[in-house]
Structure 1
Amino acid sequence: KSFCNAGIEPPLYFYRDKDKIEIDLIIFLNNTVYPVEIKKTATPKADNAKNFFITGRIKNVEIAPPCIVCNCGKPVSVAKGVIAFPAEYV
C-alpha cells in the first residue's frame, strides 16, 4: 500500500520455473531480492523452506535471508538462515 500511495508500482513477483519450483513472493528492492514463502501453518517446518535454494542461481543482485510468513506465535528458526515470522508482523 505504501508503494501505491507513493505512485510506485510495487516490486512484488511470484516465481515458478519449468520444474515447478516456486516461491510465493519475491520482493525486488534496491538491487536486493527478498524471498518469502507464505504458509497457513502455525508450525512451520524446514520443508517449507526447501525451494529457497533456487535464489542461489540469481546473479548480480544481493539475496536477502529468506523468510516464511505464517500463523506461528513468535519468530522461529526453521532452517539454516530461514526464520518464520507471524503474519501479524507484516
Structure 2
Amino acid sequence: MSDVPLDNKTLAALIAQNRLVAVTDVEGQIVGYFAPALSREEMARRHLGLPDPEIVRAQREKPEKTYTTADVKAYLGSLESRG
C-alpha cells in the first residue's frame, strides 16, 4: 500500500464525515474511497450495531422516564390482547 499525504484542510473534511467517503475528481467521477481509521472498540461497536457509549450515558442522565425492551413488549402484548 502506498501513502498519499493530504493537506490539513482536505484531511479535516474527510475525517469530519466520520464514515466512508467517495473521493472524486473535479468532474465528479469516483476515483476511490476514504475510510477513516477506527479503534478496535469502534469497529466492533459499528459491526455489532452497538450504540455509542456517550449517547447511552447522555440518555441515562435525562430526567424523562425510559422503558426497557421488556416494558415495551409487555405493553404491546397488552394491546394485542385487547383485540
- How does the TM-score come out when normalised to structure 1? 0.27
> Higher Cα Rg: structure 1 or 2?
2
- How does the TM-score come out when normalised to structure 2? 0.28
